[in-house]
Chains A and B, each alone.
Chain A
């Protein structure tokens, strides 16, 4: 097992920091698997949980698909480090949920993440910011197959891969795409467009699970069906809807109607002022301000800052990331420190409207 901070150092070197994306911010693909003839984690005794950590981690660490992987048990890392990990991998799982005898594996790329003994014996996740969900799927599948040579996955022909949640059985595959759509959202067209372009297999939500409003103007597309459809169906549906929404957003940004342009200019300039001068920020306020400033960059209303810096801020303003930058920050100082980080990023910028 490894030092507590090794994986934080590993992930801080990762290439989320090279994300220049304007609209398609990230993708996350996840496979849920269980090992046959072992009860699922919620019903498994401690001895068998530890046994599974040993068996599964051995299969993962021996796989050629992972580059210099490290494995660590959840009990060995602080809650803060766990929060950092979950933020980095865009996980919506409850960070503070007490899963006993849980373990994690990350590798040198910083884009592959394995969880052992969460709700299922094994979750394998690949995150990506290059819009390459098909290549990510291939990578995920090869790793899963490689590990499957020494693991016997729970499977039957009727229900497919068997998972603790029936909403995940079948392919056991969940894909998420994170799209930044501020023009569609602030022009009031997002729900109309989502209604027109909707797909049976794909659902959408915001960062906090909401469907009526979108924090940070980020819309997350995901497959609601994991059974009754193939992995190719899911990938094709995700790709199709993400492409259509991206094009719609680009079209709207280049042809804003006059009254909508005035409204959005007002919002962007206020967000800029907020980013530049606020003494404190909570997470939602910072996401919303950063989002509008990203739009401002694309519309040539803000200069002196780029998408790479702002995308980086989307992560670094989260609690786990903020505290990993400076562990001496006290809980009550976090909103102010968040504001300081944002001020620093904006110091050489200029509002052009």
Chain B
């Protein structure tokens, strides 16, 4: 079975082209999408744009040479500078990707909500208790009293082992 080129392993676009190369007895088959830069390179020998050219048009990262075009085609980012250079494009893409997530506030400029380096606040077993309580409410709603009894026992055991969580 033909494989995507190694360089294009993360491209999610549908495969449109099957490229077969025969050199002597060796036959290599590669599958690519129609926009694949690797395909263009193999067909027409188009060189990659030089860093200088890309810099002139202002659409690439000055540190690693990653271009906006490559990012739009699904390539990996090249360095942490890319996040500064392409910040608005990346923010827009993140917001689009997160559109179905109602819990995420997509209008905020600062998207990151998690910890920063060095923060070490531990997570306790409270989530287990919350999840069991939610599941208990649901089983009672469904009148599954057998499961509800089992859940109640689990909650009781958890609270006995973690008395601090009773306050929650």
Closest residue of chain A to B142 (Cβ to Cβ) is A251
Q: Say yes or no for A122: interface residue by CB 8 A criterion.
A: no
A225 to B95, CA, bound (A): 10
Task: Give B70-104 interface residues, CB cut-off 8 Å to A.
Answer: 76-80, 83-84, 87, 90-91, 93-94, 97-98, 100-104
> Assuming A165-B76, A244-B135, is B101 touching A156 (CB within 8 A)?
no
**What string of 1s and 0s marks CB contacts (under 8 Å) between A160-201 and chain B?**
111111110111010000000000000000000000000011
Q: In the complex, what's the smallest C-beta–C-beta distance from B140 to chain A, in angstroms?
A: 11
Closest residue of chain A to B104 (Cβ to Cβ) is A228
Q: In the complex, what's the smallest C-beta–C-beta distance from B105 to chain A, in angstroms?
A: 7
Q: Say yes or no for A250: interface residue by CB 8 A criterion.
A: yes
Q: Say yes or no for B45: interface residue by CB 8 A criterion.
A: no
> Assuming A201-B101, A225-B98, A235-B123, is B138 touching A244 (CB within 8 A)?
yes
Q: Say yes or no for A134: interface residue by CB 8 A criterion.
A: yes
Q: In the complex, what's the smallest C-beta–C-beta distance from A79 to chain B, in angstroms?
A: 15
**How many residues on chain A are close to B (CB under 8 Å)?**
61
Q: Is the CB–CB distance between A229 and B146 below 8 Å?
A: no
> Assuming A98-B6, A119-B76, is B111 touching A228 (CB within 8 A)?
yes
> Assuming A141-B122, A224-B101, A230-B115, is B127 touching A40 (CB within 8 A)?
no
Q: Is the CB–CB distance between A170 and B111 below 8 Å?
A: yes
Binds B, one of A147-155, A320-328, A345-353: A147-155
Task: Give A306-324 interface residues, CB cut-off 8 Å to B.
Answer: none
> Assuming A43-B66, A145-B118, A247-B135, is B112 touching A134 (CB within 8 A)?
no
Q: Is the CB–CB distance between A227 and B98 below 8 Å?
A: yes
**How many residues on chain B are close to A (CB under 8 Å)?**
59
Q: Is the CB–CB distance between B138 and A231 below 8 Å?
A: no
Q: Is the CB–CB distance between A162 and B80 below 8 Å?
A: yes
What chain B residues lie within 8 Å of A250 (beta carbons)? Answer: 147, 150
Closest residue of chain A to B131 (Cβ to Cβ) is A243
Selected from B84, B94, B112, the residue in CB contact (under 8 A) with A166 is B94
Selected from A40, A228, A244, the residue in CB contact (under 8 A) with B78 is A40
Task: Give B101-152 interface residues, CB cut-off 8 Å to A.
Answer: 101-106, 109-120, 122-125, 127-128, 130-132, 134-135, 138-139, 142, 144, 146-147, 150-151
Selected from A37, A40, A232, A236, the residue in CB contact (under 8 A) with B77 is A40
Q: Say yes or no for A265: interface residue by CB 8 A criterion.
A: no
Q: Say yes or no for A260: interface residue by CB 8 A criterion.
A: no
Closest residue of chain A to B84 (Cβ to Cβ) is A156
Most buried by B among A142, A163, A170, A224: A170
Q: In the complex, what's the smallest C-beta–C-beta distance from B132 to chain A, in angstroms?
A: 6
Q: Is the CB–CB distance between A235 and B98 below 8 Å?
A: no
Q: Is the CB–CB distance between B64 and A39 below 8 Å?
A: yes
Task: Give A219-272 interface residues, CB cut-off 8 Å to B.
Answer: 224-225, 227-233, 235-236, 239-240, 242-244, 247, 250-251, 254-255
> Assuming A43-B64, A239-B131, is B117 touching A148 (CB within 8 A)?
yes
Q: Is the CB–CB distance between A201 and B123 below 8 Å?
A: no
What chain B residues lie within 8 Å of A162 (beta carbons)? Answer: 77, 80, 83
**Count the A-B residue pairs with Cβ separation under 8 angstroms: how many?**
181
Q: Say yes or no for B55: interface residue by CB 8 A criterion.
A: no
Q: Is the CB–CB distance between B80 and A154 below 8 Å?
A: yes
Most buried by B among A37, A158, A173, A254: A158
Q: Is the CB–CB distance between A240 and B131 below 8 Å?
A: yes
Most buried by B among A153, A161, A200, A229: A229
Q: Is the CB–CB distance between A40 and B115 below 8 Å?
A: no
What chain A residues lie within 8 Å of B97 (beta carbons)? Answer: 166-167
Q: Say yes or no for B65: interface residue by CB 8 A criterion.
A: yes
Q: Closest 5 interchain pairs by CB?
A: A160-B112, A228-B104, A171-B114, A154-B80, A243-B131
Residues of B that sit less than 8 Å from A by CB? 6, 9-10, 63-66, 76-80, 83-84, 87, 90-91, 93-94, 97-98, 100-106, 109-120, 122-125, 127-128, 130-132, 134-135, 138-139, 142, 144, 146-147, 150-151
> With A134-B124, A162-B80, A250-B150 given, can you name 7 additional A-B contacts, CB distance below 8 Å?
A137-B123, A156-B84, A158-B111, A166-B93, A228-B104, A229-B101, A251-B144
Residues of A that sit less than 8 Å from B by CB? 34, 36-40, 42-43, 94, 97-98, 119, 134, 137-138, 141-142, 145, 148, 153-167, 169-171, 173, 200-201, 224-225, 227-233, 235-236, 239-240, 242-244, 247, 250-251, 254-255
